[in-house]
Every structure is written in structure tokens, then in C-alpha cells.
Amino acid sequence: MDDSGSEPRVLATDKALELIREIQQDHPDILFHQSGGCCDGSSPMCYPAGEFMIGDNDVKLGEIGGVPVYISGNQFEAWKHTQLIIDVVPGRGGMFSLDNGREKRFLTRSRLFGGSEACSVPDISRAPAQ
């Protein structure tokens, strides 16, 4: 849980945090964007923060390792009762994602918020532009 007493909407595994630090050696200011695909098994894209335009309908889910994580508004509506867990698996990242070429890639896993936990999940408004 975070300090507010509610469950975070996005978490990262230790492997994901390690890969974030590795990428930040080359690109200190990065962000994640989850768009397209289904929740489990899809790949969040990792971009240099200054090279990706956050849309008016994108939603900021939170931060992992100090890096902001956004999701498209339509996907947020479908997944708003789901916690995303960013992990790392062997393979190649998306063509434009900064994990590409490292022989490992980010992967989104998920779990549904349940019971009283779902009531403690804060509402999120649309993310303001960077």
C-alpha cells in the first residue's frame, strides 16, 4: 500500500526496477505508456519523456521507480478496477520502446482489486500534459 492507505494502481517487480535503472543510464528522463493489447501479457512502451506526447485522454496511473506510467483513457475505463504490475521477461521490446535491443522486455501483468480494497482505490482524472 502507499502512504494514503489505498492500493497503488501500478507496481513494478524488482526486475523491472533494475531494467528501468539500466535504461536511465542512457536515457535519464523516461516514461511508460500502456496502450493497445490486453492487460496480461501486453508490453508497456518505454519512451524518452521528451519524445512522447501525452494525450488529453491519457491517464497517469502512478509512478514506478520514479518514472510516470500512463494509460490511454479508453483502456483505463476497461481496466480501472485492475492493478497493473510491470515485470520483465526475456525477449525483445517494442520497436520504439527503450527496452528493445536489451534481450529482455517489459511485460504487463494484472490483478483485480477486490472487496474493500476496491473501495480504497482513488479516482483518477485525466492526466495533464507534461
Average pLDDT over residues 104-114: 90
What share of the chain in percent tops pLDDT 90? 54
Give me the half-sphere count of Cα atoms (radius 13 Å) on the Cβ side of residue 76: 19
Distance (Å, whole) CA 78 – CA 63: 20
Average pLDDT over residues 106-117: 84
pTM of the model: 0.84
Predicted confidence (pLDDT) per residue in 54-107, tens digit: 999 999 999 999 999 999 998 888 888 899 999 999 988 777 899 988 999 999
